[in-house]
Amino acid sequence: MGFDNYFLIVWDLTRRAKEKDIWWNVRGSGAGSIVAYCAGITRLDPLAHHLIFERFLNPGRISMPDIDMDFPDDRRGELIEYTVQKYGQTNVAQIIAYGTMGARAAVRDVGRALDIPLGEVDSVAKLIPAIPGKPVSIAEAIEQVPELKEKYEKVDYLRQLLDTAQKLEGVTRHASTHAAGVIISDRPLVEYTPLHRPTKGADESGLGIVTQFEMNTCDAIGLLKVDFLGLSTLTIMRRAVELIRLNHGVELNLENIPTNDPAAFELLARGDVAGVFQVEGAGMRRMLMDMRPT
C-alpha cells in the first residue's frame, strides 16, 4: 500500500526522541493502528481500548495516513535537526502557507488605496459578518445586511470600494510557513517542487527552505509530510514531573503515568479543562460535561 516508509520514518523519529529523553506523543488517523502500537509509535493497545483504527484504511481515503507528532515546544527543533542530518539537507523542507484576502481585509486594503477615511472604511468592514469557520463574502453581506446594502446603493464611493474589494476576495495576500508540516523526500526536493525562502522570523527550525507548493498540492503529488508540533503542554508536564520527583520522591515518566485514573476522568466530566490540549475550547468542554466520560 506504500505506507511502509511513512510508518518507518515516524518510528525512527519516536526512537530518536526516546534516545534523547524528549517527551513525545502521536495523534491522527494512523495513530490507533495495530502497526503503530506494535512498532512502539503509540503506547495504548487499540484492541484493549476499543479504538477505531480503520479511519486511514478505507476505500474512500486516498491520501497517506496522518500521524501528528507532538514534542515539547522547547525541544522540537532538535528533532527537525535530526531529520535533516538523517535524510539530507536537500531532501527536507518546511511547507509554505498562503494567506488569502478575506472580505473584511479586502475592504480595508482597498479603502487605504482609495484614500477613504479609515473610520468610514472600518465601519463598512465591520458590517460584514465574521462567522468562524463560515466566511461570508462581500456579495452575501450586501444581500444579508440592510445597512450595508443601503450604503452600497446610495453612496457612490462606497459602492466603488465594495465592488473593487469583491475582485480581491480570495487573492493570495502573503506567504508564511506551515506551523508543523515538514516534507521528507527520497531525492533532492528541487526534483519535485519549486522552493522558497522562509518568511522573516518563521524559520525557527533553521531549515532555510520551504516548498513553494502548499500542503494540499504537496500531498497531491505524493510528497511525504510529517507533522512536528511544538506543544507547551508537554513542556509543562515534563517540568511538573520533575517537581514531583524533587518534592515527593515519585518517579513518573511517559511509560508509567496512569491512563485510567478515575480522578482524571472526573476532572474532564466537570469541564475543568483549562490548559488541557485539544479539549479546552467551549464546544469540547460542553461535550465532555454532557458525555461524562469514564
Least Cα distance to 107 among 165, 148, 156 occurs for 165
Q: What gap in Å lies between CA 62 and CA 292, rounded to an integer?
A: 35
Q: Which residue has the higher pLDDT, 72 or 277?
A: 72
Stretch among 27-31, 82-86, 108-112, 240-244 having the lowest mean pLDDT: 27-31
Last residue of a domain, one of 153, 170, 187: 170
Share of the chain above pLDDT 90, in %: 53
Instruction: Please report whether residue 46 resides in a domain.
Output: yes
Confidence of residue 125 (pLDDT cuts 50, 70, 90): very high
For residues 20 and 83, state if they share a domain: yes
Host domain of residue 159: 102-170
CA–CA distance from 58 to each of 31, 48, 218, 223 (Å)? 15, 22, 22, 20
- Whether this prediction's pTM lies above 0.85 is answered by no
pLDDT for 130 beyond 60: yes
196, part of any domain? yes
* pLDDT beyond 80 at 2: no
Q: Tell me: the pLDDT tens digits for 187-213? A: 999 999 999 988 765 555 567 889 999
Residue closest to 164 by CA, chosen among 102, 118, 99, 107: 107
Task: Please tell me whether residues 205 and 275 are part of one structural domain.
Answer: no
Last residue of a domain, one of 130, 146, 170: 170
Separation between Cα atoms, residue 257 and residue 48, nearest integer Å: 18
In a shared domain, residues 79 and 8:
yes
Nearest to 104 by CA among 152, 43, 46, 166: 166
Provide the Cα torsion 186, 187, 192, 194; round to 10°: 120
Decide if pLDDT at 63 tops 90.
no
The listed range with the strongest mean pLDDT (57-66, 108-117, 221-230) is: 108-117
The amino acid at 25: N
Pair 8, 92 in one domain: yes
Residue 245 falls within a domain, yes or no? no
Residue 251 lies in a domain: no
What is the share, in percent, of the chain residues with pLDDT greater than 70? Answer: 96
CATH number of the domain bearing residue 128: 1.10.10.1600
Question: What does the alpha-carbon distance between residue 71 and residue 14 come to, in Å, rounded to a whole number?
Answer: 10
**Cβ–Cβ contacts within 10 Å for residue 207, how many?**
19
Residue 254 lies in a domain: no
Cell representation of residue 9:
520514518
Predicted local confidence at residue 200, as pLDDT: 65
Whether residues 184 and 161 share a domain: the answer is no
Q: Looking at the structure, tell me whether residues 89 and 191 fall in a common domain.
A: yes
Domain final position from 144, 170, 196:
170
Q: Are residues 293 and 267 in the same domain?
A: yes
What's the confidence (pLDDT) of residue 13? Answer: 93
Domain of 42: which CATH number? 3.30.1900.20
Q: Tell me, yes or no, whether 36 and 149 share the same domain.
A: no
Mean pLDDT for the stretch of residues 6-19: 92
Q: What is the pLDDT of residue 205?
A: 59
Q: What is the structure's pLDDT at 198?
A: 81
Residue 6 has pLDDT above 60, yes or no: yes
Q: Do 71 and 32 belong together in one domain? A: yes
Q: How many domains does the chain have?
A: 3
Domain-located, residue 223: yes
Rounded mean pLDDT of 251-272? 90
* Domain assignment of residue 255, yes or no: no
Whether 118 has a pLDDT exceeding 60, the answer reads yes
Q: Judge if 109 and 142 occupy the same domain.
A: yes
Residues 107 and 87 in one domain: no
Domain presence at residue 250:
no
Q: Does residue 201 share a domain with residue 136?
A: no
pLDDT band at 173 (very low <50, low <70, confident <90, very high): confident
Identify the pLDDT of residue 204: 57
